[in-house]
Structures are given as C-alpha cells and as structure tokens.
Amino acid sequence: MTGSATIPASLDKVLQRFAKYTDPKRKYELLLWFANRLGAFPEAGKIEANKVPGCASQVFITAEIVDGAVVYQADSDSQLTKGLAAVLVEGLSGATPDEIVQLKPDFITMTGLNVSLTPSRVNGFYNILKVMQQKALGLM
C-alpha cells in the first residue's frame, strides 16, 4: 500500500485492511475486531511504568525483544482504545527497535480513523505510539 521502507511490513498489512473500508462504521468494527484478537495481558504488567499517560482510558503496554524483534502486549479498559492499542501491537510487533523508533506518526492518518475518532481518542492513539517507541528505544 505505502511502498515505503519506513513502515514495517506488518503495519503496512494493517493499514491495507483499513484502506478497504471507507465507511467509518466499518472502520470501528475493524477496530473492535483487532481489540478481540489482542492476547491476554498479564495482571502483573498493569503497573504505573507500563501505563500510557495522557489517555482518558487506562492503557498498559509492555515490550520485550525476541530474536532481535520487539514483541508488544497491551490492554485497555475501553474496547475502542484496546482496538487502537491492538492495531499498533499487531502492526509493530516483529519490527526491530530501530524501525519502531524511526516510524513517523503520520501513518495514523492512513487508517482513516483520525476523521471518525474524537480528538481525545486520536491523541490517545498518538500517546500509545509514543510509549511504544519509548519502550523500543529502551530495548536498543
């Protein structure tokens, strides 16, 4: 879709899914589908150090390196926000820390969600990405 080397292949695949839909309702349904695919998050990970600041909902992110690639886990108390986190977990897990840190947030507009989400949710999406990038940086 993007043809850009700056977007990890797994994220490009996620963006292609969103590009299939123009109807905001279908994009929301896809977001909830991603939320339901998110694996179980360990209760032990729900600590302040893993909390995403600046989100209206509670969002937790963990990251580890497995064979040179970052693997994320996430959870939220809101299904919609959980979907946003899940999109990033699916899109960024498997990428190298360097690819994640170099990623520009403008790909978020490629989902089309920025026009149908509330400004606070879009801001939360950016905050989740920022925390994921900080965690990747810490793994370098």
| CA 133 to each of CA 13, 26, 33, 36, 117: distance values in angstroms, whole numbers, following the listed order | 19, 28, 24, 23, 22
What's 119's DSSP letter? H
| 74 is an active site residue | no
Provide DSSP, 68-113: TEEEEEEEESSHHHHHHHHHHHHHHTTS-HHHHHH--GGGGGGGTG
Nearest to 97 by CA among 125, 66, 57, 118: 66
Contacts of 66 (CB under 8 A, 6+ apart): none
Catalytic residue from among 15, 31, 55, 74 = 55
Catalytic positions are: 55
